[in-house]
Chain A
Amino acid sequence: MTKNDSSNREDTWLTDFADSILDGEADSPPAAAPNAEALTLAESLLRLKRAFPKQELDSATVKRMRADVLEKWRAKERKRLRWPQIFRLNWLTPARRPQTAMAFAMLVLAGILIVSAPVLFSNSGSLIAAAGTNIPGAAIWLALVALLVALFLLLRRKS
């Protein structure tokens, strides 16, 4: 008998023993084994079977776990869908609330006017030249009108 044959025989002996443990036909170390090592391996398999006896999940646990998974999934989905909406500024789309979108635009316009007025209305047009100068009256008026329009749009009742 070659070394290969003997090795194959040991492999088959161990897998057969694993089958008999799992089929409930063996629950103690075998009386005979091809060699001492095979016997220790068989003992390891018995330990594995004893440490993890077959465990069936009852239907209540299955139902609870199923409900948990679906709930966690829904929560994850809600979270996932919220961010793209925010970044797409869906909450500002004219179709959703036209007056909010218009008011927002007016506020932005007023902000831009106030910030850029010293540069826009100074003689040289440079920030350094504009430093220390007062914001020209025309810019203030324009910003004020934009603010009033924004306020009007925000406070106007929906028709």
Chain B
Amino acid sequence: MNSNASIYNRSAVSDEHLIQRFKQGDLDSFGSLYERHLPTVFNRVRYVIPEADVEDVTQEVFIAAMKSLNAFRGESLFSTWLHALTNFKVAEYYRRKNRKQMPREAPIIEAEMLHDESADLHLEDRIALRKSLASLPEKYQDVILLRFADGMQFDEIAKTMHSNLETTKSLFRRAVAALRKKLESHYD
């Protein structure tokens, strides 16, 4: 790793500063942004994308970010912008899959692709949950993933969603109820 990148990681250089450096042609500064935000993006993607494609979709999010970073005006936080980009890439992934007429037995194929499936007791549940989550309306999906995948507290989620705490809690309950319904229909 380049020494510049290490310096960026060690010190508390802001996202905005790293973006500025990247716009000036410093590729290493994007590397630092990448390492900083990779865990969040990866975690969110693994909740909604089949295991075998999680890495690819995560990479696509960051490549898209590099491509459009010059147009990023900093009107929102970089993390918020990246979050929207992740949602867009996930949606794009499913549009692409639908065009290719994903076979109905896709979850079985996904299970076969995992080498340690015998050891994974929650594999079937994970596939069902992933499918159910992916089919929820975006607002419901978001509120569940902001808490479970991104690890945000409910007051932070309220701020991110430009809402108040009560409304956010109510949205969360409705989202979980919708998830429950989807799961029931999955097993029917």
Residue positions of A touching B, CB distance < 8 A: 7-8, 10-12, 14-15, 18-19, 22, 37, 40-41, 44-45, 47-52, 55-57, 62-63, 65-66, 68-70, 72-73, 76
Q: List 17 A-B contacts (CB under 8 A).
A: A11-B173, A15-B154, A18-B147, A19-B154, A40-B180, A41-B173, A48-B129, A48-B144, A50-B125, A51-B125, A52-B148, A57-B38, A63-B1, A65-B59, A69-B63, A73-B27, A73-B63
The answer to whether B86 has its CB under 8 Å from any CB of chain A is: no
Is chain A's binding surface mostly helix, strand, loop or mixed? helix
Docked Cα-Cα span, A80 to B85, in Å, equals: 21
Docked Cα-Cα span, A14 to B168, in Å, equals: 12
Contact with A14, one of B122, B129, B176 (Cβ below 8 angstroms): B176
* Residue contact B170 to A7, C-beta cutoff 8 Å: yes
Q: Name the CB-closest residue of B to A74.
A: B27
Contact with A52, one of B38, B46, B166, B176 (Cβ below 8 angstroms): B46
Residues of chain A lying within 8 A (CB to CB) of residue B129: 47-48, 51-52
Shortest beta-carbon distance, A62 to chain B, in Å?
A: 6
Residues of chain A lying within 8 A (CB to CB) of residue B74: none
* Residue contact A62 to B35, C-beta cutoff 8 Å: yes
Q: Mark B132-154, 1 if CB is under 8 A from A, else 0.
A: 00000000000010011101011
The answer to whether B111 has its CB under 8 Å from any CB of chain A is: no
Docked Cα-Cα span, A57 to B59, in Å, equals: 14
Contact with B39, one of A7, A51, A57 (Cβ below 8 angstroms): A57
Please give the number of chain B residues whose Cβ is less than 8 angstroms from any Cβ of chain A in the complex.
40
Docked Cα-Cα span, A107 to B149, in Å, equals: 64
The answer to whether B18 has its CB under 8 Å from any CB of chain A is: no
Shortest beta-carbon distance, A134 to chain B, in Å?
A: 59
Shortest beta-carbon distance, A2 to chain B, in Å?
A: 14
Docked Cα-Cα span, A50 to B121, in Å, equals: 10
Q: Name the CB-closest residue of A to B129.
A: A51
